[in-house]
Amino acid sequence: MSTASAQALPHDLRSASWRPVIITGLSGGGLSTAAKVFEDKGFFVSQNLPPQLILELVDLAAADDSPVERLAVVSDVRADRFNGSLADTLEGLRRRGYSPFVLFLEARDDVLIRRFDSVRRTHPLQGDGTLQDGIDREREEMEGIRSAADVIIDTSNLSVHDLRRAVEASVGELPVERQHVTIESFGFKHGSPRDADLIIDVRFLPNPYWVEELRDFRGIDAPVADYVLSQDGAKEYVDHFVDLLSSTLKGYRHEGKDFITVGVGCTGGHHRSVAVAEAIGKRLRQQGQVDVNVIHRDLEKH
């Protein structure tokens, strides 16, 4: 099937909820790891196809007689060496009636440099310049895709296992009719999550770390959770924030944003933020209006 022969909207999509996944982002950001997560979840994963072939592959996979139930395509800045671009491809998919889900992975410059140095690779856009030059060029070229992504994950502080959990939690089952909210606890001393749409700070609550019998527990443990949520203003804060978030979600939906990440921070990411994140997640699930995942980025860090 040529590109020219596939311009009409597909009439044989197996369901309105079928969504092709585009995994993209910065070189060294964790794209290969994310691809493996999707493979483990039963996706057919294709890597580094030219933009024109992505359109054809999606048409083939979406057909009623296709053996492919779910499709993910990995595409990075190298795809732009061919005619067209990833941005053109995404627009082409939307013109054909698809609703592509775009997952964008990134990391801080110092982390990307360390990752490239560890595997002794050059950056695909480095040319005759430095590794930093290549990273700067890639950030500039990918900014348009980043701004339109459904989910952005900053992998700077994530181990391979943490990244797997973050991808699984952020993507979920790719709901279409319902919004998807990820509540992510973290410790400010490890850095704020750059991929969060909203960040709240719960360091105003007394720290269980200074209660000797609670220090070795975590916010997922009942003694700590009960302590945190019993403090003056804690439950009221959760209630008010859930009300605020619910009204905010309506605006996000109007703007076409269906995947939202909320960061909940305390000092180390062990106690207060964990307990409050769990409480917010529980309240949202009780409302039943959105799909919710709760993850704890720094729970095991020292």
User: What are the C-alpha distances in Å from 19 to residues 34, 119, 156, 232?
Assistant: 17, 34, 28, 45
216 known member of a binding site? no
Per-residue burial over 2-25, b if 16 or more Cβ lie within 10 Å, else e, is: eeeebeeebeebeeeebbbbbbbb
Check: CB of residue 151 under 8 Å from CB of residue 158: no
Q: Return the SS3 of 196.
A: coil
H or E stretch including 55?
Answer: helix 51-62
78 known member of a binding site? yes
Instruction: State how far the Cα of 71 lies from the Cα of 31, in Å rounded to an integer.
Output: 15
77 known member of a binding site? yes
Query: DSSP of 15-35, one letter per residue?
Result: -TT---EEEEE-TTSSHHHHH
234 Cβ contact partners less than 8 Å away, ≥ 6 residues apart: 205, 228, 276
79 known member of a binding site? yes
User: What are the C-alpha distances in Å from 160 to residues 33, 44, 238, 252?
Assistant: 7, 21, 31, 30
Extract the annotated binding site: 76-79
Extract the annotated binding site for GTP: 76-79
